[in-house]
Amino acid sequence: MRLFYAVFLPEDVRRALVEAQEKVSRYKGWKEVAPHQLHLTLLFLGERPEGDLEDLLALGHRLGRLHAPFPARIRGTGYFPNEGTPRVWFAKAEGEGFSLLAGALREGVSELLGEEALRAGGDKPFKPHITLARRKAPAPRVPPVVFGLEWPVTEFALVRSELRPKGPVYTILEKFPLRGEHGREQEESAGERPKDH
């Protein structure tokens, strides 16, 4: 099964991005990502055997307990690649938690399944973004779009992707709430008064 970890967007953020997609909808060369599929990929795993699923779900729950919710922002758009002919038009996401979570997932998957399990995602540095459209044929770039979007990231998910002729179908296998219990435990233990002997 083809798998990835991702953050999905609240309805108001998704609505604003769908409005921005209208900028490329007039050009046949761009194909917009369906509104319900807009997401931020934390780690792409590619094809994995079903036997890995239990470990990947357990990792999601463990990291959810360790990481606290965090604020996220979207300010503007960009292209991959930035120079030359773009293949992807995306919204730039900001939020320290994205890199922390993506790094922890990479480390966890490597420990559980080995470095081989990370090959599908390539070795490009992690850049938090939400793909808005993919270029399928010659089409112009559109001017940058400026957003003022903010939202709290409170969970992430393990997602199954099935490639079909009309496009991929995503199925959320499980959501992992961000609880940050580890940090709370540390704060609580730091605040404890030393016991008298």
Active site residue 197: no
| Strand positions, DSSP E, 58-181 | 70-80, 88-94, 129-135, 149-153, 155-162, 169-177
Of these residues, 36, 39, 61, 197, which one is catalytic?
A: 39
* No. of helices (H) and no. of strands (E), the chain: 4, 9
| Dist. CA 4–CA 44, nearest whole Å | 4
The rounded distance, in Å, linking the Cα atoms of 145 and 165 is 30
- Angstrom CA distances, 6 to 27, 48, 138, 189, 193, stand at 28, 16, 30, 32, 40
Q: Which of 36, 61, 67, 129 is catalytic?
A: 129
Q: Please choose, from the candidates 74, 57, 97, the residue with its C-alpha nearest in 3D space to the C-alpha of residue 180.
A: 97
Is 61 assigned a catalytic role?
no
Q: Catalytic residue numbers?
A: 39, 129
